[in-house]
């Protein structure tokens, strides 16, 4: 399924083989997309990051924990159907839904997919959910997309009505803060918490600056990084039925030339996440 992946996969297998000789287990890097609010771009960024990694030759598996909406799963299902309909091959992650049965089932699913892949990408529902919390505590990279709005910011912290200074951390920020401390104590891993600003808009320079200031202030208190994400673009909604992304250059028709900038912003998002190179994973 994963076309164009031969070189890096080949290298990766080599590293795994060396890992076996040295007794080192290959470990998948867990990227968890989470916040407790719907409509902030979790599924959209998750699917784009997963496909971007697969297109670079990484072995990627996605687990959709939002078993009701299944946006990530549906996107990739549409992509698989497009491959069949058009008789083409595209970079393609493995994708499954977690059906919310038990933590033991989830752990088995994670273990099975983790053994065969370089990255596990988790999409979670936009509400407090015990399984979303569970995967968040096991993340290597925890991505929280927020729209550039103080309504979404409220999820991480509250700002003063007069001067926009941060007044208070939210319950969610406290939760992640505690999870990171626990995780560092348990196995020495520091969860890299990245707040991704989604649906950025050129017309909103003033609001953007206020958000930048508030995020900078808050990031020092809670220990996340903030990176620019995807701009507001209709294309991110239009491509859903075909499951295509801006990366699928040869298959987009006229869209291909109109969206060079968008492709670049997607690349920058993946760079901003600072994920390990595939070859490093086995030794991580």
Ligand X SMILES: Nc1ncnc2c1ncn2[C@@H]1O[C@H](COP(=O)(O)OP(=O)(O)O)[C@@H](O)[C@H]1O
List residues bridging with 194 in a β-sheet.
143, 225
Site for Mg ion in 201-220 (CB under 5 A): none
Name the residues that contact ligand X, by CB under 6 A: 38-44, 71, 126, 198-199, 230, 232-233, 236-237
Nearer to Mg ion, 71 or 140 (CB): 71
Q: Select the binding partner of residue 140 from Mg ion, ligand X, none (C-beta < 5 to 8 A, by kind).
A: none
> Which residue, 43 or 55, has its beta carbon nearer to Mg ion?
43
Among 35, 40, 45, 71, binds Mg ion (CB under 5 A): 71
Among 26, 32, 36, 43, binds Mg ion (CB under 5 A): 43
Residue 79 touches which member of ligand X, Mg ion, none, C-beta under 5-8 Å by kind: none
Residue 40 interacting entry, from ligand X, Mg ion, none, C-beta within 5 to 8 Å by type: ligand X
Closest CB to Mg ion among 43 and 140?
A: 43
> Distances in Å between the alpha carbon of 116 and those of 12, 79, 87, 201?
11, 21, 26, 39
Residue 185's binding partner out of Mg ion, ligand X, none, with CB under 5 to 8 Å set by partner kind: none
134 binds, among Mg ion, ligand X, none (CB under 5 to 8 A by kind): none
List residues binding Mg ion (CB under 5 A): 42-43, 71
């Amino acid at each position: 399924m994963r076309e164009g992946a031969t070189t890096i996969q080949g290298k990766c297998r080599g590293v795994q083989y060396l890992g076996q000789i040295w007794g080192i287990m290959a470990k998948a890097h867990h990227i968890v997309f989470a916040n407790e609010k719907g409509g902030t771009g979790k599924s959209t960024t998750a699917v784009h990051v997963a496909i971007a990694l697969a297109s670079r030759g990484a072995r990627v598996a996605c687990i959709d924990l939002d078993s009701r909406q299944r946006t990530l799963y549906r996107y990739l299902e549409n992509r698989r159907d497009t491959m069949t309909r058009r008789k083409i091959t595209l970079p393609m992650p493995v994708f499954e839904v977690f059906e919310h049965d038990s933590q033991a089932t989830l752990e088995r699913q994670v273990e099975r997919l983790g053994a065969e892949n370089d990255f596990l990408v988790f999409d979670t529902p936009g509400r407090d959910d015990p399984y979303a919390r569970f995967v968040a505590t096991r993340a290597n990279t925890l991505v929280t997309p927020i729209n550039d709005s103080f309504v979404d910011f409220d999820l991480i912290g509250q700002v003063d009505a007069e001067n926009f200074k941060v007044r208070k951390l939210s319950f969610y920020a406290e939760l992640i803060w505690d999870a990171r401390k626990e995780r560092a104590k348990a196995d020495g891993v520091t969860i890299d918490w990245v707040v991704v600003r989604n649906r950025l808009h050129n017309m909103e320079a003033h609001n953007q600056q206020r958000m930048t200031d508030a995020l900078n202030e808050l990031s020092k208190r809670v220990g996340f990084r903030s990176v620019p994400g995807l701009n507001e673009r209709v294309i991110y909604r239009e491509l859903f039925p075909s499951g295509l992304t801006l990366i699928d250059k040869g298959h987009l028709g006229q869209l291909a030339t109109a969206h060079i900038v968008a492709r670049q912003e997607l690349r920058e998002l993946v760079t901003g996440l600072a994920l390990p190179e595939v070859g490093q994973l086995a030794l991580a």
